[in-house]
């Protein structure tokens, strides 16, 4: 069974884990040693065994809404519920579009940048939804089609980061705010 939790210890709001991925039978907070099982239940709270009125069952990890539809995992961090009909339609649409593709996570990309995460989300969706990403990755020398897979991966990352920076620069100009020099599209070299 798949579960999702806030990465926040109930004791002092410290991060339970600093790992980005992996697996463990116990989720332990290193700050004061509180530990949770894979169901989010508090299983260890040092120095709290004899505290009057303390109830371990009321101090588990905060759960996050999670739904699996058509093989896709949806996580809802919002307080309000998601319209189940809309979720089902969205999952069905994605499933139809990707039904002939054998999708598998090969790697994770991490960009440490200073701008609105929604821009990254939009650009990443654009890159995934647009057929023929390599066709969009054309330099002055020609197509990358004949290059090695490793060069294509690097070019794809550079292109996505370039698009993110470009979108960020446009948003900053729109807001008439100062653009950080590293975010300007003309400062990106390919």
For 139, phi then psi, to 5°, come to: -100, 180
CB atoms within 10 A of CB 36: 22
Examine residue 35 and state whether it is found in any structural domain, yes or no: no
3-state helix, strand, coil in the chain (%, to 5): 35, 10, 55
Examine residue 39 and state whether it is found in any structural domain, yes or no: no
Examine residue 186 and state whether it is found in any structural domain, yes or no: yes
Per-residue pLDDT of the chain (190 residues; tens, 9 = 90+): 888 888 999 988 888 988 877 788 899 998 899 999 999 999 999 989 889 999 999 999 998 888 777 677 777 777 666 677 776 666 666 665 655 556 666 566 666 666 666 666 666 555 544 444 444 444 444 444 445 555 556 666 666 666 666 666 665 554 444 444 444 444 344 3
Residue whose C-alpha is closest to residue 183's, from 50, 170, 56, 168: 168
Residue-range definition of the domain harbouring residue 175: 105-190
Burial string for 72-98 (b: 16+ CB within 10 Å, else e) reads eeeeeeeeeeeeeeebeebbeeeeeee
Total domain count for the chain? 1
Examine residue 127 and state whether it is found in any structural domain, yes or no: yes
Examine residue 53 and state whether it is found in any structural domain, yes or no: no
Examine residue 14 and state whether it is found in any structural domain, yes or no: no
Examine residue 151 and state whether it is found in any structural domain, yes or no: yes
Sign of CA dihedral 39, 41, 43, 46: positive
Examine residue 21 and state whether it is found in any structural domain, yes or no: no
- Among the residues of the chain, which ranges form H helices? 84-98, 117-129, 133-136, 149-174
CA-based angle 129:132:134, to the nearest 5?
A: 120
Q: Which contiguous run of DSSP H or E holds residue 27? A: strand 26-28
C-alpha span between 131 and 129 (Å, rounded): 6
CA 81 to chain centroid, in Å, comes to 20
**Contacts of 157 by beta carbon, 8 Å cutoff, 6+ apart:** 109
C-alpha span between 155 and 59 (Å, rounded): 47
């Amino acid at each position: 069974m798949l579960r999702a939790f806030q990465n926040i210890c109930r004791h002092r709001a410290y991060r339970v884990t600093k790992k980005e991925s992996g697996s463990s039978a116990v989720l332990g907070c290193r700050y004061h040693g509180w530990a949770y099982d894979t169901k989010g239940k508090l299983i260890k709270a040092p120095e709290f065994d004899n505290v009057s009125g303390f109830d371990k069952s009321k101090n588990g990890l905060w759960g996050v809404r999670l739904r699996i539809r058509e093989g896709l995992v949806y996580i809802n961090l919002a307080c309000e519920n998601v319209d189940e009909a809309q979720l089902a339609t969205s999952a069905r649409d994605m499933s139809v579009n990707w039904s002939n593709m054998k999708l598998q996570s090969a790697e994770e990309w991490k960009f440490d940048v200073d701008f609105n995460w929604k821009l990254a989300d939009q650009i990443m969706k654009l890159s995934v939804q647009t057929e023929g990403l390599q066709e969009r990755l054309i330099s002055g020398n020609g197509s990358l089609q004949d290059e090695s897979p490793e060069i294509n991966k690097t070019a794809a990352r550079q292109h996505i980061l370039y698009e993110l920076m470009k979108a960020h620069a446009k948003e900053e100009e729109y807001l008439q705010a100062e653009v950080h020099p590293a975010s300007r599209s003309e400062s990106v070299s390919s």
